[in-house]
A and B are shown apart, each in its own frame.
Chain A
Amino acid sequence: MNTHNINTIARYEAKLLKRGWLFRVFAVLILLVMTVNLLNSSTNVFWEMNAYWKNVALTSSIPFMATRLYALAQAIIVIFLAGNIIKRDKKLDTAEVLYVRPMSNADYIIGKVWGIMRVFIGMNVIVLAEGLLINVLLSRSPVNVWYYLIYIFTISLPSLLFILGLSFSVMTLVKNQAVTFIIMLGVAATATFYLSDKLYGVLDFFGGEIPSLFSDVTGHSNLEVYLWQRGIYYLLATGFILLTIAAVNRLPLKPWKTKILACGSVIFICLGLLAAYGYVHHFENKIKKREMLKAVYEKVADIPKASIFSNKLLVKQEKDVLFVESKLKLVNRHHDKLDKLVLFLNPSLTLNGVKCEGKEVSFEREAQSIIIDKSIVLKDSVELTLTYSGKIDEDICYLDIENDAYFKKPEGEVIFYGKRYVYQTDKYMLLTPECIWYPMAENPVNPAVPYDINKDFTYYTLNYILRDTNKQQVVISQGEEIHRGDTVQYINHIPLTGISLTVGNYEKLSIIVDSLSYELYLFRGHDYFTKHFNLIKDTLPAIIRTMQEVVDNKRIYPFARFAMVETPIHFTSYTRNWKGYTELIMPEIAFLSEKGVVGISSDFKSESMRKKQWGSRNATMEDDEVQVQVFKDFVTWTFINETRGTSDWQADAQLNKLDIGGMLFAHSGFLYSQDFPLANIVVNMMQSANPTQTEVWRRMWTNTSALTDDIKANIYLSKHSFREAMVDKDLKPKVFYELLKLKTFELKNYLLSYISAQELTEFLKEFSEQYLFSEYPFAEFTNAFKQKHNIDLTPFLKEWYIKNKTPLILVKDVDAKMVLKDEFTKYKIRFLIYNPSPVNAIVTVKADASGNNRGGRPGGGMGGNSGAATTDPHYYQIPAQTAMEIKIIQDDRPSSLTINTNIAQNLPNTLPYTFTRIDAETTDTTTGAVVVDTLLFRQDADELIIDDEDKGFHIIKANNKHALKDFFKKEDEDKYKVMNYWRPHSVWTPFFNNRGYGTPVSSMVYKKKGVGKNRVEWRANIAQSGYYELSIWNPRLENQGGRRGGGWGRGGGGNPQTQTYTITYGESKDVISLDLQQGDKGWVALGDFYLPEGETVISLGDNVSWDFAVADAVKITRLGKRK
Chain B
Amino acid sequence: MSLAAPVASRVERAWAVLAEVLDPEVPALSVCDLGIVRDVVEHGDGLEVVLTPTYSGCPATEVIERSVLDAIDAAGLGPARARLQRAPAWTSDWISEAGRRKLREYGIAPPSGDAPHAPAQGVPMRFVRRGPPAAVACPRCGSAHTERLSAFGSTACKSLHRCLDCREPFEHFKPI
A is bound by B: no
Tell me the A residues contacting B by CB distance below 8 Å: none
Tell me the B residues contacting A by CB distance below 8 Å: none
